[in-house]
Chains A and B, each alone.
Chain A
Amino acid sequence: MTATLDTTLAVQAAGLSKRFGGVQAVDGLDLAVAHGQVCGLLGPNGAGKTTTVRMLVGLIRPDRGASALLGAPMRPSHPVLRRVGLLVEKPAFVPYLSGMRNLQLHWRAGGDPWPPPGLDFAIDIANLGAAVDRKVKGYSQGMRQRLGLAQALMHDPDLVVLDEPTNGLDPAETRRIRRAIGDISSRGTTVLLSSHLLAEVEQVCTHALVIDHGTLVASGTVADLVGASHAVEFEVDDASRAADVLRAVHGVLAVRAGEPPEHRLIADLDGVARSEAVRALVHAGIAVETVVPRRRLEDAYLALVDEQ
């Protein structure tokens, strides 16, 4: 199995599968993340993101399949994890110790002398100020999350794996974390970011892997996946008449109903400008309220999420 793994990739999995009781959490998952990418692992809640991440770092043994981090085939507690920074689900600390003391204990547990090489940058990112010397017990969710990020970054890792890093945070904290991820990747660190939020992946990532029911549904660059497609959504006063008009326009490939169907419709335009289509509608006496280009992944992804 390991023979199929490509050691030039930052993260790779081949046929990764895991079953918990009656639930197939991950089912024959293949994925690849190249060095330097900020790759989103996108999927609705329960898609198998966390199980995947835990298998990738050796916390869970896959039933079948194999994976590799930074070219090293994974097994529990593999030394290559020293070059990986990790935030799995929520950050976790010893509550009765200070933030700094927690970082210290975590670092020394690996047998290395304090301080780690990237501590200053990590503390900077965490942006905790004097609170870093207070007990973690009193931290807000956002502070814990940032301390967790500092813990994942303090050793200057080559690869950072972040599992739902903005879950449960308020908008200001979320923005902070996302900006921090940008800072990390600008240093050349590869980032694998799991998220159930399309907007988050779109905003932060260069690449994305979409998974559902434990299998890979789509993968590619974010620009390709969520960039503008040929599909355009029109909001009009009379959708059925507008559909007839658009079908007659040269270059309109297909027309389908939107939501609600009496006022919205979606048309695939090929070789015809949006303004051209609007002109045809207005000319036919149809009032046009909005014209919005659809993004490629959106329909498919929202359908996945709606299934829940």
Chain B
Amino acid sequence: MIVVEWIRQIRRMRTWACFALLAAVPVIMTVATYVSPPRERRFEINLFTVLTSSGINVAVAALLVMSQFFLVVVVAAFAGESVSGEATWGTLRYLLVRPVSRARLVLAKLGVAYVLTLIAVFVITGTALLAGTIAFGWHEPTVVKTTTLFGEATVPLPVKIAIGEGIGRLSLASGYIALTMLAVVAIGIFLSTLTDSTAAAVVSTVVAVVASGVLIQVPSLSGIKPYLPTRYWDEWHTLFNGGTTADMYKGAASALIYTAIFAVLAVWRFNRKDILS
């Protein structure tokens, strides 16, 4: 079933269009920055202002820009379509009487949607690294380090790190983002088993992620904040801005727990569903 689902996705124009879109953004970003580089301003140093220092920095910036929303939409499209798409075509009923067990069908679709997600993250990091290196060279990347001056004021300062170290942190960041997206895949698959409409499944997945982001902003809801799925999504920034990386473990655990919950829910729910499509 996994192979079959893989062939179904990979032979699809839409899959390739998604990857092409994901590749286009870092390239556009690189070209734009190359044409008009950010002006250096003292005391305003962040991961975008140091972008021109190395191809690795371009990749970091691309992940910063895209992991919040653009990647989520693409991942939601992969996951949300997987079951509801078959329902829309009517092929779902034929698969189930082949017979393919319902649990296997859901898990195969989750697996393939996640492989596509891994490729999506790799496409962003890879094209950004390539385009960035062509534009700004293969140099030691710059990270931002917060330093305390005169015992009171904290000031962000640019610090060079070794290329190997930079690549290591970039890989770690990509892996972390991929792991957080696993939870999105599981949520998307679950919502995909609820409806026969692909659009509804994809949109509601994106809405769920956005809603989580909005709830985090509400101060009076700080009590539930640690339990929201997107709470730890940005923790990988600490790899490059000198923060403490301890919360990345919590983020990884949170993603795995959300994945497990929604995968189980999807199988449970799909097992009980009357297939009317």
Contact = CB atoms under 8 A, between A and B. Distances in A.
Contacts of A84: 97
B8 A105 contact: yes
Interface in B82-112: 89-91, 93-102
A84 B98 CA distance: 8
B120 to A, nearest CB: 20
The residue among B99, B101, B271 with the most chain A CB atoms within 10 A of its own CB is B99
A97 interface: yes
Contacts of A88: 93-94, 97
Contacts, number: 81
Interface in B44-78: none
B96 A77 contact: yes
A134 interface: no
A94 B8 contact: yes
The residue among A59, A81, A90 with the most chain B CB atoms within 10 A of its own CB is A59
A59 B97 contact: yes
A89 B275 CA distance: 13
A94 B99 contact: no
A110 B100 contact: yes
A95 B89 contact: yes
A77 B94 contact: no
A58 B97 contact: yes
A76 interface: yes
Contacts of B93: 54, 59, 88, 92
The residue among B3, B91, B272 with the most chain A CB atoms within 10 A of its own CB is B91
Contact of A106 (B11, B94, B271, B274): B94
Q: Is the interface of A mostly helix, strand, loop or mixed?
A: loop
A57 B92 CA distance: 13
B6 to A, nearest CB: 10
A108 B5 CA distance: 10
B11 A97 contact: yes
A239 B7 CA distance: 70
Given A92-B89, A93-B91, A96-B13, A59 B274 contact: yes
B95 A94 contact: no
Contact of B4 (A61, A90, A95, A108): A108
Contacts of B275: 54, 59-60
Interface in B1-35: 1, 3-4, 7-8, 11-13
A111 B108 CA distance: 13
A59 B13 CA distance: 30
The residue among B11, B91, B97, B274 with the most chain A CB atoms within 10 A of its own CB is B97
Contacts of B1: 109, 111
Contacts of B12: 96
A79 interface: yes
Contacts of B8: 94, 97, 105
Given A59-B93, A60-B274, A92-B89, A109 B11 contact: no
B276 interface: yes
Contact of B94 (A60, A79, A92, A96): A92
A175 interface: no
B100 A109 contact: yes
Nearest to B8: A94
B98 A109 contact: yes
A136 to B, nearest CB: 10
A96 B274 CA distance: 27
Interface in A106-142: 106-111
A76 B271 CA distance: 8
A148 B97 CA distance: 13
The residue among A81, A94, A109 with the most chain B CB atoms within 10 A of its own CB is A109
Contact of A81 (B3, B11, B89, B97): B97
Contacts of B99: 58, 76-79, 81-82, 110
Nearest to B270: A76
A106 B274 CA distance: 21
A151 B91 CA distance: 12
A280 B102 CA distance: 69
Contacts of A78: 99
B13 A77 contact: no
Interface string A159-185: 000000000000000000000000000
B110 to A, nearest CB: 16
Nearest to B98: A110
A86 interface: yes
Contacts of B11: 96-97, 101
A94 B3 contact: no
A90 B12 CA distance: 23
A77 B102 contact: yes
A94 B1 CA distance: 15
B276 A60 contact: yes
17 contacts: A59-B97, A59-B275, A61-B274, A77-B97, A81-B98, A91-B90, A93-B89, A97-B8, A105-B4, A105-B7, A106-B94, A106-B98, A108-B3, A108-B4, A109-B1, A109-B98, A111-B1
Q: Which 3 A-B residue pairings sit nearest by Cβ, starting from the closest?
A: A92-B90, A77-B99, A59-B275
